[in-house]
Amino acid sequence: MHTLSTQVAGYIEHSSWIRRMFEAGMVLKKKYGQENVYDFSLGNPDLAPPAIVGQALHQIADTATNAFAFGYMPNAGYLDTRKVLAAYLAKEQETPALGPEHLVLTCGAAGGLNGLFRAVLDPGDEVVCPAPYFVEYGFYVENHGGKLCPVPSHPGSYELDLAGIAAALTAKTRVVLINSPNNPTGQVYSGQELEQLGQLLERHSKKTGRPVYLVSDEPYRFLVYDGVQVPPVLPLYAHSVVIGSFSKSLSLAGERVGYVAVNPAMPDCATLLGGLVLTNRILGFVNAPAIGQRLLGAALGHGVDLSVYERRRAAMAAVLDAAEISYVMPKGAFYFFPQVPGTSTDDTAFVKALMDQQVLAVPGSGFGCPGGFRLALCVPEDVILRSGDAFKRAVSAFLA
């Protein structure tokens, strides 16, 4: 009794379905064999890192006898790594003024988001975010006394509902948090949507006298299909911040390397950066891991084999088509967010029907969007193809 804080005990209570699903998945794998369970529940990249990561790791090992080889460093991260990353992001974000002084290296995008919220949120401040959204956002915002205010995206396309976002802005709105390519929908917001969003935030910030930050969480920027471009946000709005990571692009999720890039055009950007350096320290991250940073310095510009994800996306689309499950084709990232079949919106019941056929998925309610469910493409293509009949059986049983 009273082992945990009320808040954390409540979190565990409310997320017990995740644990139950995980446990049920383990039972299924034991009963039917790993290869006969179609596990689309986890967004855990299963591709090996590019070869250069292994080579860089050997070179890092050769420096292990140097003093401070893995010692403390500036809280913002190694200057060398920040220089390489700044040059890369200056091009990607079409922001030539972006330099190493505008970057803080973080423990993944997760560490970057937490550092940013800690730096800018006052108690009760609001973070507006399109739904569906990455499950952890609510926790990250509440970690720092804020409140997540989800705004449903346009059903059927998952484009931004700009009127909905405008209606959600209040004097307490401090951040608008977007994620493109999106987890879980795969949506990539267009330049026009982002430009209009920037204009909206400009007007709102003027009205309230306090800037609203536009935070763009972009760990899937590298993974887009059919030649889609992910527009840069920095040129569109002065109070913008980009957060990214190499968890997915270099399959380095366990190494915890990400970054926060602050728009050089932001008045007072040095103050925000000072805040971010401090929060990286006082949240206990201190700095992003030394080895991860050096791996990043060596491997930036390389990536996992994207054609694998392209084939998996095509395979999953074929499986869903054959099962008559409707979905919006993802433009990027490695997820599908299809609709529960028929007239029901009971995503938990349909996920249960899938599980009865050894298919593991995550209910949309967990992403703030009941009525849908998420499938992650972090399994080999043959698993996706072999799951076709199981999907069909689940739909028949659910609609019966």
Q: Which residues bind ligand PLP (CB under 6 A)?
A: 43, 108-110, 134, 179, 183, 217, 219, 245, 247, 253, 258
| Residue closer to ligand PLP, measured from CB, 353 or 376 | 376
Considering the complex, what minimum distance in angstroms separates the CB of residue 138 from ligand PLP?
A: 13
To ligand PLP, the closest distance from the beta carbon of 133 in angstroms equals 8
Residues 390, 284: Cα–Cα separation, whole Å: 45
Nearest of 57, 4, 20, 7 to residue 360 by alpha carbon: 20
If the CB atoms of residues 104 and 238 are measured against ligand PLP, the closer one turns out to be: 104
- CB closer to ligand PLP out of 292 and 388: 292
Question: DSSP alpha helices (H): ranges in the chain?
Answer: 6-14, 16-32, 51-62, 79-92, 108-120, 137-143, 162-168, 191-208, 269-282, 290-299, 306-322, 347-356, 381-386, 388-399
CA distance 204 to 272: 20
Considering the complex, state which of residue 215 and residue 238 has its C-beta at the smaller distance from ligand PLP.
215
Q: Is residue 215 within 8 Å of 197, Cβ to Cβ?
A: no
In the complex, minimum distance from the CB of residue 349 to ligand PLP, in angstroms, rounded to a whole number: 25
Smallest gap from Cβ 224 to ligand PLP, in A, equals 15
In the numeric block, which tokens belong to residue 195?
Answer: 């430009």
**110 or 375: CB nearest ligand PLP:** 110
Nearest CB to ligand PLP, comparing residues 219 and 264: 219
CA distance 163 to 172: 18
Phi-psi region of 77 (alpha: psi -120 to 50; beta: other; left: phi over 0): left
- Antiparallel, parallel or unpaired: β 147-152 and 173-179: unpaired
Secondary structure class of 335 (helix, strand, coil): strand
CB of 243 to ligand PLP, least distance (A): 8
- 128 by DSSP, 3-state: which? strand
CA end-to-end span of the chain, whole Å? 44
| CB of residue 249 to ligand PLP, shortest distance in Å | 10
CB of 335 to ligand PLP, least distance (A): 9
392 phi and psi, to 5 degrees?
Answer: -60, -45
The four Cα atoms 33, 34, 39, 42 give a dihedral, to 10 degrees, of: 140
Query: Which residue's C-beta sits nearest to ligand PLP?
Result: 108
Q: Which is nearer to ligand PLP, 247 or 365 (CB)?
A: 247
Could you tell me the two tokens for 227?
């030649």
For tokens 């860089």, what's the residue? 56
Q: Which is nearer to ligand PLP, 214 or 390 (CB)?
A: 214
The least CB distance from residue 45 to ligand PLP, in Å, is 9
Q: How many CB atoms lie within 10 A of CB 205?
A: 18
Shortest distance in whole angstroms from residue 120 CB to ligand PLP: 18
Cβ nearer to ligand PLP, comparing 44 with 63? 44
Closest by Cα among 43, 329, 41 to 188: 329
Shortest separation between residue 18's beta carbon and ligand PLP, angstroms: 14
Q: Which is nearer to ligand PLP, 112 or 231 (CB)?
A: 112
Select 165 or 296, whichever has its Cβ closest to ligand PLP.
Answer: 296
Least separation in angstroms between residue 278's CB and ligand PLP is: 20
Region of 94 on the Ramachandran plot (φ > 0 left; ψ -120 to 50 alpha; else beta): left
Strands 38-39 and 359-360: parallel
- Any idea how long the chain is? 400
For residues 375 and 354, is the Cβ–Cβ distance under 8 A?
A: no
